[in-house]
Amino acid sequence: MKGRDEIAQALAASGYIADADLATAISLMQLLRRPLLLEGEAGVGKTEVAKALAKVHATELIRLQCYEGLDQSAALYEWNYQRQLLAIQAHRGSDSIEDQVFSEKYLLERPLLAAIRRAQAPVLLIDEIDRADDEFEAFLLELLSDFQVSIPELGTIPAITIPHVVLTSNGTRELSDALRRRCLYHYVDYPDVDRETRIILARVAGASPSLSLQIARMVEGVRKEELRKVPGVAETLDWAAALVGLDVRDLHDAPETVHETMVCLLKTQEDRARVTGEVTQRLLGKVA
């Protein structure tokens, strides 16, 4: 089991610039054997945490994307219906065919089943759990406490390893208290200027420290404007890559390019109309 400082180092080495608390959360996941629930606005990098965690543990990342109407057949397992039919056709008249077609060979693993049947514990990312409905949430809670799956035709399948579970939520729906209590909670906020600067430096090749700092400050200013869609970290990185690609070394030298490339940050027509040339100038004026 890794300690907190070791985890912080591993996160940094994997290219994920974490805030101070995240390493604590990850070490607690191991110590208390609890899943981690990440909440925060879209685009703050919640999914990245799971990817970084997989790198820290040097293990596989298994992702389950939730959506309205997600059910067990998409999340847990499904019988390979077409293969079963073909087998029945091929072995017509055979008595044992029924036992055969309901065997492991015809079972399709979905993410949740895959996550408990790996030799090395993977990271299981349950993305946007708030998009799934209450029933699925209840089923998930059961799985997260027992770590075994019952398949009527096969019996109970216990977990070979217990995965590191990360859930993310954008808060589109209120999650149950039971699920919240089961998990460790971490709120992922937009990064501050210092952290965002370091993220740009780590992720965008060719971005100088001074340019990264200017971009981070500019984005901070943009986030304070009244926007319909606040730009996330991914947008910042797109914008930084665009500026570097256009050979901008200092934002003050190319105000027009800065304004034109702001489309990387502003994702709705309304927001683009709101951030006029004057607004860009005003924000640039605040960037040292």
Q: Strand 164-169 relative to strand 123-127: parallel, antiparallel, unpaired?
A: parallel
Q: What is the DSSP string of 99-137?
A: HHHTSGGGEEE-HHHHHHS-SS--EEEEETGGGS-HHHH
User: Which residues in the 19-58 window bind other proteins by CB under 8 A?
Assistant: 20-21, 24-25, 28, 31-32, 34, 36, 39
Is there a contact between 83 and 163 (Cβ–Cβ < 8 Å)? no
Question: Within 10 Å of residue 208's Cβ, how many Cβ atoms?
Answer: 13
- Which CB, 27 or 261, lies closer to other proteins? 27
Sole binder of other proteins in the list 2, 117, 180, 272 (CB under 8 A): 180
Sole binder of other proteins in the list 6, 15, 67, 68 (CB under 8 A): 68
Where does this chain touch other proteins (CB under 8 A) — which range of 151-159, 171-179, 215-223, 241-249? 171-179
**Rounded CA gap, 207 and 6, in Å?**
28
- Which CB, 77 or 136, lies closer to other proteins? 136
Sole binder of other proteins in the list 89, 96, 156, 269 (CB under 8 A): 89
Sole binder of other proteins in the list 6, 73, 85, 210 (CB under 8 A): 85
Where does this chain touch other proteins (CB under 8 A) — which range of 114-122, 155-163, 170-178, 278-286? 170-178
Helix and strand totals (H; E) in the chain? 15, 9
Where does this chain touch other proteins (CB under 8 A) — which range of 57-65, 84-92, 190-198, 251-259? 84-92
Question: Within 10 Å of residue 77's Cβ, how many Cβ atoms?
Answer: 18
How far apart are CB 151 and other proteins at their closest, in Å? 21
Q: Three-class SS of residue 38?
A: strand
Look up residue 149 and give its two tokens.
Answer: 């799956």
Please report where in the chains the tokens 């985890």 appear, as a residue. Answer: 7
Is there a contact between 60 and 209 (Cβ–Cβ < 8 Å)? no
Sole binder of other proteins in the list 187, 210, 246, 249 (CB under 8 A): 187
Question: What residues make contact with other proteins under the rule CB under 8 A?
Answer: 4, 20-21, 24-25, 28, 31-32, 34, 36, 39, 68-69, 81-82, 85-86, 89, 133-135, 171-174, 177, 180-181, 183-187, 226, 228
